[in-house]
Structure 1
Amino acid sequence: MTVLEEVRQKELIRLLNLGNETAFNELYKIYIKPVYKKILFIVKEEEIAEELSQDLFIKIWQKRKEIDPEKSFKSFLYTIAHNLVYDYLRKVARDKQLLNSLMVNAVDYYLHTEEVFQARETQKILTEAIEKLPPQGKQVFTLCKLEGKSYEEVSRLMGITVATVNSHMVKSSRFVKEYLYRNLDADILMTIVVASVLLH
Structure 2
Amino acid sequence: MNSNLKLSNESDLLLSIASGDELSYSKLVEKYWQKVLQHALSFVKSYSIAEELTQDVFIQIWEKRDKLAEVKSFENYLFIVSRNLIISHIRKKLVETDTLKDQKLQELFLKPDEQFEFQELVKIINEGAALLPEPRRSVFLLSRMEGKDADYISKKLGLATRTVRWHLMHALNFLRNYLHNHHIISFLTIILLGSFFFE
TM-score under structure 2 normalisation? 0.54
Please name the residue that 1:97 is paired with. Answer: 103
Please name the residue that 1:188 is paired with. Answer: 194
Pick 1 or 2: higher relative contact order, CA cutoff 8 A, min separation 6: 1
Cα drift, residue 187 of structure 1 = 4.3
One-letter code of the match for 1:77?
L
Please name the residue that 2:34 is paired with. Answer: 33
Does residue 128 (structure 1) correspond to residue 182 (structure 2)? The answer is yes
Please name the residue that 2:65 is paired with. Answer: 64
Instruction: Determine helix, strand or coil for the equivalent of 1:19.
Output: coil
Aligned length: 133
* Residue ranges of structure 1 left out of the alignment (5+ in a row): 111-120, 131-175, 192-200
Cα drift, residue 85 of structure 1 = 0.7
**Greater than 6 Å deviation, 4+ residue runs:** 121-124
Cα drift, residue 125 of structure 1 = 3.8
Instruction: Determine helix, strand or coil for the equivalent of 1:2.
Output: helix
Please name the residue that 1:75 is paired with. Answer: 76
Cα drift, residue 128 of structure 1 = 3.3
Instruction: Determine helix, strand or coil for the equivalent of 2:69.
Output: coil
**Any idea what the Cα deviations from partners look like across 1:111-145, whole Å, max 9, x if unmatched?**
xxxxxxxxxx9897466346xxxxxxxxxxxxxxx
Q: 1:103, 1:190 within 8 Å by CA — same for their partners in 2?
A: no
Q: 2:71, 2:77 within 8 Å by CA — same for their partners in 1?
A: no
Q: 1:11, 1:69 within 8 Å by CA — same for their partners in 2?
A: no
* Residue ranges of structure 2 left out of the alignment (5+ in a row): 118-174
Please name the residue that 2:54 is paired with. Answer: 53
One-letter code of the match for 1:18?
S
Cα drift, residue 100 of structure 1 = 3.3
Cα drift, residue 55 of structure 1 = 1.1
TM-score under structure 1 normalisation? 0.54
Please name the residue that 1:140 is paired with. Answer: none
One-letter code of the match for 2:182?
E
Cα drift, residue 89 of structure 1 = 0.3
